[in-house]
Structure 1
Amino acid sequence: MDYDAIIIGGGACGLMCAVQAGLLGKRTLVLEKNDRAGAKILISGGGRCNFTNLYTAPENFITENPHFLHTALSRWTVDDTISFFENFGEIQGQEKTLGQLFPKSNKAKDVVAVFTKLMYDTGQDIWLQTEVKSVEKQEEGYLVSFVRQGNEQQLFCKNVVFASGGLPVAKLGASDFAIRSARQLGLSIVETAPALVPLTITGKDAPWYASLAGSSVFARVYNNRISFEENILFTHWGLSGPAILQISSYWRAGEMFTIDLLPKFRLNELIKNERTAGGKRTVGQLLNDYFTRKMVEALGKYLPIDRKIASLSKAGAKLIYDTIHEFRVKPAGDKGYDKAEVMRGGVSTDELNPRTLEAKKQPGLYFGGEAVDVTGWLGGYNFQWAWASGYLIAQNL
């Protein structure tokens, strides 16, 4: 069977690439390591699949070359994603928070079903439980070696698409195959690391964080690069929650960041108002208006929570302000690829044509999705990049 392209990886990018190629009358073969297509789609958003974000823009991505994204995100827009799922799967999107769009059914399997049906309708092939071992450059294309049903096989194809994702999550068959292959074929790689990942705290502060395990606080988390306002979650080993996952993509080992635990209010104003009313309440009673009792008790390690507000010194008031609004954190590390949503880094965008995602040095070789040095924020941005990159590649096969 002659194929227009062999697509390595049956995830978001690979499936979109296959069906878009099919809609153009092309034939593709998807080689997928797992026993089902779209494994990562199925677990995303707690099985609900946050399939795009209404506010997607190049600024919502981390990459060494932000200009690279303009073509892909303008050629396949959020409106295109919404229309695609409405037209081919009757999936209506509903916004939850911050532009995050989920299927109204709240079922990720409905998203995967759109692709499996279109693959069938357009005559695309997918071989499951097939592990690709190598891709070798030949004179007129590429020789793809793989293991299928215990048998080693090879196929030659003019075009090969790497849509095999990144290193998260190993139990879903994730690997660095695309990165290793790109390097072997002479392409440069931007250093990879876990992103959108919980952060760990060790040392003398660890018991304090552990004592708050399960507590969630709406906060502003920021460093000198970026700021996010969402919930943070204290855990037995450190910090998680949306705002922490977001900042983790901009955090580097050894760095600190700051948490404003009460971003909608100013403690100096609250203390001033209390003093105007007589200042009879304690610091703890004031904080109880805004935090759980558990949180206030924990803050007692740093603050004079039993002191009457009327008797607070200037230094005491400043200590409260600084602790609540400028809580400094120095993580020991992160929870690694198995707890990360995505991978940061990947095939350098300098190696790819931004209009086609074809490798400049290797005609017929394409890279899309997570394997590329494009990492989106939490909240559907990475799916939008996967759909857009899959679409772009399909147009140029």
Structure 2
Amino acid sequence: MTANLIKQTHLDAIIIGGGACGLMCAVQAGFLGKRTLILEKNDKVGAKILISGGGRCNYTNMYATDMQFISNNPHFCKSAFSQWSVEDTIIFFETYGIVGKEKTLGQLFPETDSAKDIVNVFTGLCRDMEQQIWCNTEVKNIESDSNGGFIVSCERNGCEEKIYAPKVVIASGGPPIPKMGATDFGLRAARKLGMQVTETAPALVPLTITGKDQEWYEALSGNTIFCRVSNDRISFEENILFTHWGLSGPAILQISSYWRPGETINLDMLPHDNILQIIDAERVQNGKRPLGGLLSSLYTRKFAEALAKYLPIEKNMASLTKQDMESINNLIHHFKVKPAGDKGYDKAEVMRGGVSTDELSSKTLESKKIPGLYFGGECVDVTGWLGGYNFQWAWASGFVIAQGI
């Protein structure tokens, strides 16, 4: 391999990572007349954007505030969101032809249902403003230069390149979905440069069940139920999905970000009704109806039949004892699940934790220790809920960084 030191003095910044944050940063920098170079490991930018939402891209959430984000410093993201709001995101995409349509819980998708349209906005703007993008480029090292800038060492098309820029933005995401080229580069770079990293773990991830209950969950694979899923910190009301390994679905993905190994979560499988009141009303009308018949009217037949493991579903309503009623109430409204673990970064949508917010200015996302070095997007210890929140953080952090580079 050959190595060259390229003094690209015309560059205002090198952006490592061509995902949501990196692309927004390059575009916003372009609007300010700044020249950037995106270094992307994959053969195209926006890989995670393209697969998000099943290829439709839930690009923001109409109700996003700082309250839907997990961080050791829950106030950290407020400054970025005050500089780039949900309304700013909506206007930005509308300006370039992306009309949003709201689905459940404030989630906005392109009217075309195509994530490609989102990526095309950025690639088109980068092209128009002559912001450079190098794909198939793997960054190997970042070091400070005697001039106060940085030398970024990378491998591109079989050649080693050394590129100088006065400022560097690390927007390389985290480990989730490694098959899409995701790595922990940003975390490794931060540690190497002496910065603290908050403990990381998969988030928005399915949970696994092992042991004596595993077979029961496997048999219900494919069944969905609307639930209130909770622990002692938070609760979510959305569908859960039984799988051959345990539990998934929106409510489970949401609670997974707040779950820790060894903890139990609670499922209320009839969150807007009272099962005992339903049974009492049914007793008056049809006391001979089996409990299983009633449960089949509330859930799928397969799920109702599976409850025979815990409940006397063959008994008719009139025959249910006080103890039976207590068991029914506990199971329907207080079903306890103790996950064995999670499905890991392969199945996680995002990473919890990241570069410590103590290391960064909340206003600019610049390193407090290393002037000219910025971190944004997923590699920072700011993790949003499912439903467009993490994209809103990516856009906001990209915008904020662009103002400073």
What TM-score do you get using the length of structure 2 for normalisation?
Answer: 0.97
Any stretches of 5+ residues in structure 1 without a counterpart? none
Give the aligned length.
396
- Per-residue CA deviation, residues 270-315 of structure 1 (Å, 9 max, x unaligned), is 1111222252211111111101110011011100000111111111
Name the aligned partner's letter for residue 233 of structure 1.
L
Matches within 5 A, 1:1-397: 1=8, 2-88=10-96, 90-139=97-146, 140-397=148-405
Three-state SS of the structure 1 residue aligned to 2:309 is: coil
SS at match of 1:221: strand
> Quick one: distance in 2 between partners of 1:320 and 1:270?
12
Give the letter aligned to residue 376 of structure 1.
G
Matched position secondary structure for 1:229: strand
CA distance in 2, matches of 1:285, 1:38: 50
User: What's the CA shift for 1:174?
Assistant: 0.7
- Kindly state the Cα deviation for residue 334 of structure 1 after the two structures are TM-superposed: 0.5
Between the aligned partners of 1:335 and 1:389, the Cα distance in structure 2 is 28
Letter in 2 for 1:349: T
1:9-61 deviation line (CA, Å, top 9, x unaligned): 00000000000000100000000000001000000000000000000011100
Q: Which moved more, 1:136-145 or 1:238-247?
A: 136-145
User: Cα distance, 1:329 vs. partner?
Assistant: 0.3
The 2-side partners of 1:146 and 1:69 are apart by: 31
Give, as a single letter, the amino acid of the residue that structure 1 aligns with 2:131.
Q
Give the AA of the match of 2:194: G
Q: What letter is aligned with 2:99? A: Q
In 2, Cα distance between equivalents of 1:288 and 1:195: 33
Q: Distance in 2 between matches of 1:122 and 1:343?
A: 32
Render the CA deviation track for 1:67-123: whole Å, top value 9, x for unaligned.
1111101110001000101102x1100001000000000000000000000001111
Secondary structure of 1:66's match? coil
Q: Which runs of 4+ in 1 moved over 3 A?
A: none
Calculate percent identity across the aligned residue pairs. 65
Code of the residue aligned with 1:389 in structure 2: it is S
For residues 104 and 318 of structure 1, the distance between their equivalents in structure 2, rounded to whole angstroms, comes to 48
SS at structure 2 position matched to 1:370 = helix
User: Could you say what secondary structure the match of 2:77 adopts?
Assistant: helix
Q: Structure 1: which amino acid aligns with 2:249?
A: G
- Amino acid in the other structure paired with 1:92: V
CA distance in 2, matches of 1:172, 1:5: 25
Separation in structure 2 between the aligned mates of residue 147 and residue 222 of structure 1, nearest angstrom: 46
SS at match of 1:40: helix
- Range moving further from structure 2, 185-194 or 266-275: 266-275
The residue type equivalent to 2:30 in the other structure is G
Is the partner of 1:262 in helix, strand or coil?
coil
- Cα displacement (A) at 1:259: 0.5
Letter in 2 for 1:146: C
Looking at structure 1, the residues matched to 267 and 216 of structure 2 have their Cα atoms a distance apart, in angstroms, of 16
Structure 2 unaligned spans of 5+: 1-7
- Comparing 275-284 and 75-84, the one that deviates more: 275-284
> What is the CA–CA distance in structure 1 between the aligned matches of 2:271 and 2:81, rounded to whole Å?
32
Letter in 2 for 1:138: D
**Equivalents in 2 of 1:278, 1:77: separation in Å?**
55
